[in-house]
Amino acid sequence: MITDDIDTLRGQFLATVVADNPSLVVIYDNQPTVEPPVDEVWCRFVVRPGAKIVAEGGSTPRYKQLGTIILQIVVPPEFGDTVGYELAEQADAAFANWRSADRAVTVYETNYRTIPARNAGEEFTINYSAYWYSYR
C-alpha cells in the first residue's frame, strides 16, 4: 500500500509539473544513475513514507500512512531564481489541498525552503515539501 501511495503521488507530479515542463530533467529514487545537468534547471522528486498508524482495528484493519513529498529544484546561476520559484509554485498548485481521485491520499500542508548559493557561480536550490496522509 505504500507503493500505491507513491504511485498516486508520483502520478500527480507527472500529470501536472512534468506535463507542463516536458524537457525538465527529473531524478527519482531508485532509478538508474542519472548525471544532473550543470547548465539546465533540474529537480529531484522523492516520496518519503513516514509513520504508519492503526486507524481502525479488527479483522480487517485500516491504516493511516503519513509521509512527505520533497521536490528539490536546482537552478544554475545563469538562470536566476525566478524559474525555480515558478516550478515550486507549479508543484504547489498540483499538491496544496490535493486529494486523490479515490480519496485515499490527501495533502494537508506545503512548505518552501531555499538554500542560497554559498559562492558566486554556484546553483540555487529550492526544497518544496508537501505533507500527506493516506487511509488504506
Convert the pLDDT of each residue in 80-133 to its tens digit: 889 999 999 999 999 999 999 999 999 999 999 998 888 878 889 999 999 999
pLDDT at 102: 96
pLDDT at 63: 93
CB-neighbour burial class of residue 17 (10 A; exposed 0-12, middle 13-18, buried 19+): buried
Percent of the chain with pLDDT over 70: 100
The C-alpha atoms of residue 34 and residue 48 are separated, in whole angstroms, by 20
Q: CATH 2.30.30.240: does it fit domain 2-135? A: no
For the segment 34-42, the average pLDDT, to the nearest whole number, is: 90
Question: Mean of the per-residue pLDDT values for the chain?
Answer: 94
Residue with grid cell 558566486, as numbered in its chain:
120
